[in-house]
Structure 1
């Protein structure tokens, strides 16, 4: 049998060794301790080279933006992390002290080989019974300027100085995504609000104009849930059902989230194969005599649907107590919705586009701003590769043809939410202050080879509002400045000091629209 050798530890294992054996239950008591980078395991000893380290104080800051025009990042997701942090460590504190220490040392031996780290600090943490940490943060939902901290973390007992940055890895992994999605959703909302204001659309319609379709394109169900929760801070439409439990578990309180009955291509293919596509449209109207129903319409020929099927079903559509939403999702969304011609009245369906063709069949009204709004029984949604830049182009092109922006709903998918990383806003945790041998020391990272983006703050930090009401960073903050800071304790020694409902987070964000 061929074996492979670990170059670090020297141990050998057979291919697929352990496959089929579930060892997760045995190591469950220390699972939370393994949610870090391996190189951090020895930092407890490395810190001590500096002396008797008693406190390590770090902060989370979004240091820059790779999104043009975005200068603020919505603080969101820390509370969800803290709810799960308590749950993660519950098995550790509930297990036998000797067992967790033995399991910890076993894992260390597997990854590092012979070492002198030991498990005395783990034993001390177990005896403590809670995590001796303090998280201080601005209220969730706050749009925080770049290079201003959203939250800080520090140990509350000297013996556990090593714990502050031990959590950096999992904390970074779980906060950047919901915060980034909340920020992208806010920017998307601003585009749609501006479009509605410009073309006379109802402000309330924008609540539902951005609809989350991203679940299938996200990296996991958990990432989809957190991202869609960020989306729901700015909108009310989602098909990502996993976000509902995530919100209730981590925030609670009243919130609004909704969707509508909708077909997919498999449904339309099955109906077309058996009864024909036109008949399938007619039966769908019978299945849903009231309310909103969305019908994917480009499984075969979108233009035939718009110029043949819908005109033949016009009376049935207008007789319904609700709206039929036509959903194309292939091709260039700008041209599909708006037509290839920049002026109304094009000679071909492709030149006229979906919205103009629906107007031709169903008509509508001209609003006070002078823009055409489709009859309320008909509408459109597009959910393939939509970005805020494309949404702006669609709004501009529709306006040029005299149509209100709220005639179309945008399905916002993984092209918008998954094509992001922690570097989108250069989010990072950095230590800025420490207490060593009873003396305070300012810490600062400032690489000479860097552009300045990675230069960290120094000292204890405060976030105060200037005369214009903007959040600003105060480095080397005094106790008085910290007391007045927007960074206030939210979680300390295993318990929440401040807990926000999802409705409250939405309110905070809305106040900064």
Structure 2
């Protein structure tokens, strides 16, 4: 699965003979043409470069590709790939420009631009589209969803909490098992960690470390699941809870316990709120109660109200109620952008502070996105034939939204500090926000995970 030659669409293999005679260079770009969100957090290109473009194509790769594609019934450009192997040691003769990762970029702007660096490889620019576009749209879309959730949570914390302390841990990634592959979960989880620091997706930690140098990008806590609670049997539910406190409780420690295996209200009112209340109060840490079924808005509100009835509450400086430090709630079922907003609004109406609740988000974070969420596309915009550049574009009368950009492109910030895509030949003395990050096998610009986080945090 790591043969880069085969990391493409079948029809791409026939394109090397479809360009006009004399074609020397092809320039293409990637953009979000719109979609659900007006801005995107750009992320993922460096991971793709390190994982795929920093490794050379080998003779074995070429041999395998020829066998597979010939049997598949499509042409194979063996001469082209053997030229890359001999002239560039198997590294792709491409130049890639991109905005810094972590940039909050308005839609309809160029975020990546790629062209071949060798006139004998003009076919290569579009050949890489499948792999490159996928490497951009997925982590960028996940980072964008995560960023949008963060904006909502932050707004409610600013309105109902004394501070936004702890915001980085208010949305926890529960999405590993719902992702389509281990690589998807790794890239998506790393994208989420651009905005937050809570995750249960271990592969995301490895991606952040391997591709962006993060020693430890995210954190978690001991937590129960239904099997560990129900294995004790219904009559011993309280013993299962008490065991969690014994195993993981203590000064400044946090632990999460799913509490709806049988009867959530009994667990809150009688077990946590009566039988084990002194254990919780005296452990000097924090128990996080997790309801896991029912309507999220109703269940979260009722859960916190019942916990307050048993454990008490205080009013913060903004007049909203807060549970004691020993007890909090995490909602991990039915969580998405809309339900987060609805839950926090319901709590606000009840004069309950957003600091009482954290969220766990699974499939909605890592899996329920697609290329059309932000209408991502990679299109050729310029071609050089016999030494002369000319525009390449599409302009379908049946769908103006698919009209593509023309010419070699640049990205600038205008007088109002807003991003604007222009033609490269109009750049003049203006600064191009696109930075050359890759050329002929070399990673020319590397961003640390911390730098990406800082850039993402600076933008709203």
Q: Distance in 2 between matches of 1:417 and 1:35?
A: 22
SS in 1 for 2:328: strand
User: Is 1:255–1:503's contact at 8 Å kept on the other side of the alignment?
Assistant: no
- Compute the TM-score of the two structures, normalised by the length of structure 1: 0.86
The structural deviation recorded for 1:223 is 0.5
The reply on whether 1:161 has 2:108 as its aligned counterpart is no
1:28-427 alignment to 2 at 5 Å?
31-47=3-19, 50-65=20-35, 67=36, 70-86=37-53, 89-90=55-56, 92-93=57-58, 95=59, 101-112=62-73, 118-128=77-87, 129=89, 130-272=91-233, 276-290=236-250, 291-310=253-272, 311-338=274-301, 353-427=302-376
Q: Distance in 2 between matches of 1:377 and 1:153?
A: 53
The structural deviation recorded for 1:118 is 4.8
The structural deviation recorded for 1:476 is 5.4
Q: Distance in 2 between matches of 1:437 and 1:237?
A: 54
Residues 160 and 278 of structure 1: CA distance in aligned 2, closer, same or farther (over 3 Å): same
The structural deviation recorded for 1:388 is 1.5
Residues 408 and 118 of structure 1: CA distance in aligned 2, closer, same or farther (over 3 Å): closer
Residues 200-228 of structure 1, C-alpha deviation per residue, up to 9 Å, x if partnerless?
Answer: 24312211111110111111111111111
- Compute the TM-score of the two structures, normalised by the length of structure 2: 0.95
Residues 183-241 of structure 1, C-alpha deviation per residue, up to 9 Å, x if partnerless?
Answer: 00000000000000010243122111111101111111111111111111111100001
Q: Distance in 1 between matches of 2:247 and 2:69?
A: 61
The alignment covers a number of residue pairs equal to 455
The structural deviation recorded for 1:143 is 1.0
The structural deviation recorded for 1:35 is 0.7
Q: Distance in 2 between matches of 1:409 and 1:242?
A: 22
5+ long unaligned stretches in structure 2? none
User: Is 1:184–1:417's contact at 8 Å kept on the other side of the alignment?
Assistant: no
Residues 315 and 103 of structure 1: CA distance in aligned 2, closer, same or farther (over 3 Å): closer
Task: Select the residue among 419, 438, 442 that pairs with 2:387.
Answer: 438
5+ long unaligned stretches in structure 1? 1-23, 339-352
Name segments (4+ residues, structure 1) moved above 4 Å.
99-102
Q: Distance in 2 between matches of 1:477 and 1:228?
A: 39
The structural deviation recorded for 1:102 is 4.3
Quote the RMSD (CA, aligned, Å).
1.6
The reply on whether 1:507 has 2:454 as its aligned counterpart is yes
Q: For residue 20 of structure 1, what is the aligned residue in structure 2?
A: none
Q: Distance in 1 between matches of 2:409 and 2:444?
A: 20
Q: Distance in 1 between matches of 2:243 and 2:211?
A: 42
- Higher mean C-alpha deviation, range 276-285 or range 145-154: 276-285
